[in-house]
Amino acid sequence: MAKKVAWLLLLLISVCVPGLQAWALKLPFHPRDVLPLLPRQVSWPILNRLHSAVDILPVFVGAASSPDEFLEWKGACFYKNKAWMVFHNKSGTQFGGGTLHIKVSNAHSWTCMDLYIFATPYRVTWDYYFLAREHTLDIKAWEGKAEYEYVKNHGLSIFLLQAGMLGTLEALWEVFPLFTNTGWGENSNINFLEKHMGASFGVRPQPWVTNISTDDIHSGDFLAVSKIRGRWGAFETLEKWVSGAYAGHTAVCLRDSNGKLWVGESGHENEAGEDIIAVMPWEEWWNFELNKDDSNPHIALLPLHPDVRARFNETAAWEYAVSMIGKPYGYHNMIFSWIDTLTGNYPPPLDANVVACVMTIWSQIQPDYAANMWNEALNKRLGTKGLDLPEVLVEVEKRGSSFDELLTIPEQDDWVYSDGKSASCIAFILEMYKEAGLFDPIASSVQVTEFTIKDAYILNFFENNSSRLPKWCNDGDTVKLPYCQIKGKYRLELPGYNTMPPYSHMNERCPSLPPKYSRPNGC
């Protein structure tokens, strides 16, 4: 589950839109001043010619955390700016909210504007200013104790953006009706997936939870999970949209030598709130999904084909699983499984520039957690060490390449990061499959970190004879899926399921564009 990727994208797009107005501007303009008003397709090329890639990155100007300390900086348009933060409790909620005051003055020209992104680890909003006066940004209520304390201690981060990014921000806003009402509701997720991916959500007859007999579950059986409610639901929705997968998370079953059934999962949240790799008894996992997961998870069991199961080396699988327990979720490489091509992976208006912006903002507001999240992976691609993002961009340009191209370089499964090998939810399972022999004899030329969740479930590893599925499989449903949905009100579709034989260098050059996500042969 590349949920952190989606989290990042979400950070950038879950913006509370200020009252956008049509500005009738009169000449004369500086080209940079007009850029925001041009359609994005036009403004990016111009912007890219006016500036080097580094200039496009948002600039961190500071963080406001108190009414008594003024943050002061020079903007691109307004040369004198000041900000301070006032906490309030207008909402009467446990932690109250806050108002950011920003006073802008000394514009270098009367047609210019400054565009800002405001971020905490829990929200991102943006606004732009044409007028020299005091502006406010009101946050009715903090998300909870964590956000309240973050802002008290670290402040609300303020980033100055190239004015040309405005078109991108507005376009992003239009593409994400999901977030317009900050409704994290199930229906907005469903509507979004129906509209932008062409997914259908057929309602299944009861029971929505299958009475499973675990005797029928075996080592290597795959669990596809799709969350559709709440914040995780929204993150997964985004991830599905950019990758074309119809499931947003995965786990895998393993039996030990005593026959006890376990579930291996990368992205399991431990007590400290960190996402790690864990192996837990089936009962614990299933109980969590049934009773404690508030994202309304829809779950399907994808049993391995008997021939494939016969080749599954349980000993090797356990050795791998045990070697990964407690390691962090695969932050380093997850984004690279999605971006393989220069133009075929970004649904508009996302592009490599947006990715660079998100990376910049993220490293500023979560430095401890994420400073290395991208940088290490980017350095590995360049064959360099310790360069930060702006330095990476400079290096890339020096070599006559581009950031877009850098992002498309395939991840190598044997890359080891400072905190160990990195495995997203799906890389963890496929790496286990690889260790267990399922990719033999081409295992050495398959980079499983390049696989999305969809790339995994379309592999032809699974049961294809419906009469061999467990008796309880799709119990009560009128539509007989070729796998076993074991939880969920809506039918979990997996288009392309069980159709693709593995081949060398699979998924290293695949586009992924909605709504069809066409996949050329041999990409």
Ligand X SMILES: *[C@@H]1O[C@H](CO)[C@@H](O)[C@H](O)[C@H]1NC(C)=O
120-128, 153-161, 311-319, 336-344 -> range binding ligand X (CB under 6 A):
311-319
Under the criterion CB under 6 A, does residue 323 sit at the interface with ligand X? no
Q: Which is nearer to ligand X, 307 or 368 (CB)?
A: 307
What's the Cα-to-Cα distance from 177 to each of 73, 419, 459, rounded to whole Å?
A: 34, 37, 33
Minimum CB distance to ligand X smaller for 94 or for 206: 94
Contact flag: residue 504 with ligand X (CB under 6 A): no
Smallest distance from ligand X to CB 488, Å = 17
Please report how close the Cβ of residue 466 comes to ligand X at its closest, in angstroms. 8
Q: Cα(390)–Cα(368) distance, rounded to whole angstroms?
A: 18
Which of 95, 222, 336, 433 touches ligand X by CB under 6 A?
95
The 3-state DSSP class for residue 47 equals helix
| Closest CB 219 distance from ligand X, rounded Å | 12
Q: What's the rounded Cα separation, in Å, for the pair 451 and 335?
A: 11
Choices 70-78, 167-175, 305-313, 438-446; region in contact with ligand X by CB under 6 A: 305-313
Closest separation in Å from C-beta 150 to ligand X: 14
Cβ proximity to ligand X, 92 vs 520, nearer residue: 92
Q: Given the complex with ligand X, which of 119 and 436 has the nearer CB atom?
A: 436
* Contacting residues for 429 by C-beta, under 8 A, at least 6 apart: 222, 250, 251, 252, 264, 266, 456
Q: Residue 354: in which H helix or E strand, if any?
A: helix 352-365
Using CB under 6 A as the binding rule, whether residue 315 contacts ligand X is answered as yes
Look at strands 134-139 and 97-107 and give their pairing: antiparallel
**Whose CA is closest to 449, among 409, 487, 422, 479?**
422
User: Which span (92-100, 157-165, 359-367, 509-517) binds ligand X, by CB under 6 A?
Assistant: 92-100
| Subset of residues 213 to 242 that bind ligand X, contact rule: CB under 6 A | 213
Interface stretch with ligand X, choices 31-39, 49-57, 89-97, 269-277 (CB under 6 A): 89-97
Kindly tell me which residue out of 89, 270, 401, 445 binds ligand X, with binding defined by CB under 6 A: 89
State which residue, 140 or 468, has the beta carbon closest to ligand X. 468
- In 3D, which of 158, 152, 154 has the Cα closest to residue 128? 158
The nearest distance, CB 500 to ligand X, in angstroms, is 12
Instruction: Decide whether 376 or 463 has the Cβ nearer to ligand X.
Output: 463
Distance CA 329, CA 312 (A): 24
H helices present in 35-94, as ranges:
40-50, 53-56
Among 38, 50, 276, 316, binds ligand X (CB under 6 A): 316
CB nearer to ligand X: give 3 or 309. 309
Rounded Cα distance between 120 and 115, Å, is 17
DSSP string, 164-192: THHHHHHHHHHH-HHHHT----HHHHHHH
When asked if residue 467 is in the footprint of ligand X (CB under 6 A), the reply is yes
Is residue 521 within the footprint of ligand X (CB under 6 A)?
A: no
307 contributes a contact to ligand X by CB under 6 A: yes
Contact in structure between 328 and 266 (CB atoms under 8 Å): no
If one asks whether residue 30 binds ligand X (CB under 6 A), the answer comes out as: no
CB of 210 to ligand X, least distance (A): 9
CA atoms within 13 A on the CB side of 206: 0
**Which of 28, 92, 259, 441 touches ligand X (CB under 6 A)?**
92
**DSSP per-residue string spanning 372-410:** HHHHHHHHHHHT-SS--HHHHHHHHHHTT--HHHHHHSP
Q: Is 482 in the site for ligand X (CB under 6 A)?
A: no
| 96 part of the interface to ligand X, by CB under 6 A | yes
CA distance 314 to 305: 15
Q: Which stretch binds ligand X (CB under 6 A): 116-124, 315-323, 341-349, 404-412?
A: 315-323
Nearer to ligand X, 19 or 92 (CB): 92
CB of 9 to ligand X, least distance (A): 31
Minimum distance between the CB of residue 462 and ligand X, rounded to whole angstroms?
9
Residue 463 Cβ vs ligand X, minimum distance, rounded to whole Å: 8
Nearer to ligand X among residue 192 and residue 462 (C-beta): 462
Separation between Cα atoms, residue 337 and residue 86, nearest integer Å:
42
Cα 63 from chain centroid (whole Å): 25
Is 355 in contact with 405 (CB distance < 8 Å)?
Answer: no
Q: Which of residues 4-23 bind ligand X (CB under 6 A)?
A: none
Interacting positions 192-211 with ligand X (CB under 6 A): 211
Kindly determine how many residues on this chain lie close enough to bind ligand X according to the rule CB under 6 A: 17
The set of residues, in sequence order, having a beta carbon less than 8 Å from that of 41 and lying 6+ positions away, is none
Q: Which of 471, 461, 519, 9 is closest to 235 using CA atoms?
A: 9
* Token pair listed for 135: 């502006």
Q: Tell me which of 52, 182, 287, 464 binds ligand X, using CB under 6 A.
A: 464
Per CB under 6 A, residues contacting ligand X are: 89, 92, 94-96, 211, 213, 305, 307, 313, 315-316, 319, 464-465, 467-468
